Amino acid sequence: MASVVHLVRHGEVENPAGVVYADLTGFRLSERGRRQATWAGTHLAAHPISAVYASPLDRARDTARVIALPHGLEPLVLPEVTEWALMSRWAGVPWADLDIHFPGELAAYLNDPLDLDFAPESVTQLALRVGKAVDALADRHPDQEVVVVSHQDPIQAARLRLTGQDLDRLHHDKPRHCEVIGLSRSAGWRQASRVPPG
């Protein structure tokens, strides 16, 4: 058998001002986000999930609680899968105003995420941080299925690293809110499934 880690991006967030919420507190799921989390929970209810882990941020923990409920589990906080530290640099600034406060940085992030000399954490470091956490969970839960609720770039970076893809594909086909990406590890990691929210 193989260990399976289901990577789930949190549900949509209530964010009327359109700010970079990064690691700020108080950003909870929107009504749509709660529906997305319910969908993910229903989808994963048919799987023999042995543990649910979440980033310490509100939106991830809210999503994880919904997913854990059908299994009678309490989500466990896993700090290693928190948001990319780059986002903390921009925290609280509206996305529309990033160029005013941090000229050129958003364009650099979108055009070449491997070359961000202003980032407090490189995308390579991000991929290593989250990838190592996923590896450790597979070791902790051999031949079992677990869920990890995290954030878009951390999930994407870890997925690329673990499946042997280049990190310059960071912005290609990124996970949607509450999309469930199943990674299976036997001899190595492979993407076994990918189910978008219904």
The domain that holds 191 is classified in CATH as: 3.40.50.1240
For the entire predicted model, the pTM comes to 0.97
Among 117, 195, 126, which Cα is nearest to 159's?
Answer: 126
Structural domain that includes position 127: 3-195
- Position 1 pLDDT exceeds 90: no
Residue 7 pLDDT > 70: yes
Give per-residue pLDDT as tens, 129-151: 999 999 999 999 999 999 999 99
Whether the Cβ atoms of residue 40 and residue 12 lie closer than 8 Å to each other = no
* pLDDT at residue number 187: 84
**Which residues make Cβ contacts (< 8 Å) with residue 197, sequence separation at least 6?**
36, 39, 40, 176, 177, 178, 179
| C-alpha distances out from residue 62 to 36, 114, 143, 179, 194, Å | 11, 31, 27, 15, 22
Q: How many domains does the chain have?
A: 1
Distance, first Cα to last Cα, the chain: 29
Closest CA to 73 of 94, 98, 44: 44
Please enumerate in sequence order all residues whose Cβ is within 8 A of that of 136, keeping only pairs 6 or more positions apart, or say none. Answer: none
Report the alpha-carbon distance of residue 50 to residue 103 in Å, rounded.
46
Helix, strand, coil: what percent of the chain each, to 5? 40, 20, 40
Mean pLDDT of 157-177: 97
Is residue 82 over pLDDT 90? yes
